[in-house]
Structures are given as structure tokens and as C-alpha cells.
Amino acid sequence: MTTIENGKDAARAARFTRLYEQHHGDVLRFARRRVEAEAAHDVMHDTFLVAWRRLDDVPEHTRPWILTVAHHTIGNRLRAERRLAQAYLTAATAPRPPGETPEDHAFAVDLSRAWDQLARSDREVLALVAWDGLTPTEAASVLGTSPGTFRVRLLRARARLRDRLGHDISSRSLPEGAAR
């Protein structure tokens, strides 16, 4: 057990607490998109434990760094528990927004189906941008690749999603409540 009893430790704890409050939601959502709910909480714990122990290494622009740690933590879990890979970056199955039209519902179903048919590597690059909200440069750092390579992968993944869907996403209107 660590007793926070001097000024340096207190300052360290305070800094970590701010970091946790600011990014715990990002990490939890990042994890939940890739593993089941219970495992996502474990990933969050392990990720922030790394941050706590490497606090001096945490950069000022924290989000890509902490999501990179989460990415590695999830990778370890997937290697240890292969079953978790089944839930990796699958589309939401939650109830659709109230008031959704049959057309909107059909589109969401088609999009989910097209998404789930993509290769995991395609879902990964799309999710980092569309779900995790990272820029291509930030997402590239999470995957340990160059921004240029990531952009190419993202373009190809987008094209494959369009092929699976049978048309451009942009060619139809979106349901109420679907906007970010």
C-alpha cells in the first residue's frame, strides 16, 4: 500500500487524478468497442495502472498516448482470451433510437451488417477515426504506423465498406439522433 504523505506524492496523485477524470471515459469507451463490458473495465484499470506507474512519461497531449496503452492492453487480453476477439469492434446491437423510420432502421441494419463483414484491420482503422475520434496522425501512432500508411489503409477500408454496403454512406440521409 502506498501512503501519500509528502508533497511530491500528493502532487503526483493529484496530477494522476486529473488525468483519470479527463480520460477514463475515453479509455472505457475505447475498450468497450473492442471487448465485452466486464473486460472493458479491466482494460481501463490496467491502462491507468500503467499511466500511474509511468506518470512521468505521460505526454501533455495525453489522449493518443493513453489510447495506445489501452490498445496494447487489449492486445494482450485478446492473446490470453481468444474468445474476446469475437466481440472486437462489432457494430452496436443496442435498441435503435425512438422514432426511427423503417427506412432508417433498414439502413442501420445494412450498415451494421456491412461493418461486421469487414476485416478486423479495416474496422480498426475506421473505428479509430469514426468512433474513437482520433485524427489519422493520432490513430497512426496508436497502431504504430506512419500517418501516410494509415491514410492509405483508411481509404481502402472506406472503399471496402462502401462495396459491402452497395452504395456511398453519404448518398442517404441519417436518422434523428444518429448525429455525433
> Using CB under 8 A, which residues numbered 30 to 49 contact other proteins?
30, 32-33, 36-39, 41-42, 44-46, 48-49
Interface with other proteins, residue 118, by CB under 8 A:
no
Q: How far apart are CA 99 and CA 114, in angstroms?
A: 23
Interface with other proteins, residue 17, by CB under 8 A:
yes
Q: Which of 5, 7, 8, 94 binds other proteins (CB under 8 A)?
A: 94
How many angstroms separate the Cα of 112 from the Cα of each of 5, 46, 90?
52, 30, 8
Site for other proteins in 57-76 (CB under 8 A): 57, 68-69, 72-73, 76
Whichever of 163 and 169 has its CB closer to other proteins, that residue is 169
Residue 151: partners with Cβ closer than 8 Å, 6 or more residues away: 136
Q: Which of 4, 106, 120, 148 binds other proteins (CB under 8 A)?
A: 4
Interface with other proteins, residue 111, by CB under 8 A:
yes
Whichever of 25 and 121 has its CB closer to other proteins, that residue is 25
Q: Around 101, how many Cα atoms within 13 Å sit in the side-chain half-sphere?
A: 7
Nearest residue to 30 (alpha-carbon basis) of 159, 165, 133: 133
**Residue for grid cell 500508411:** 149
Whichever of 121 and 135 has its CB closer to other proteins, that residue is 135
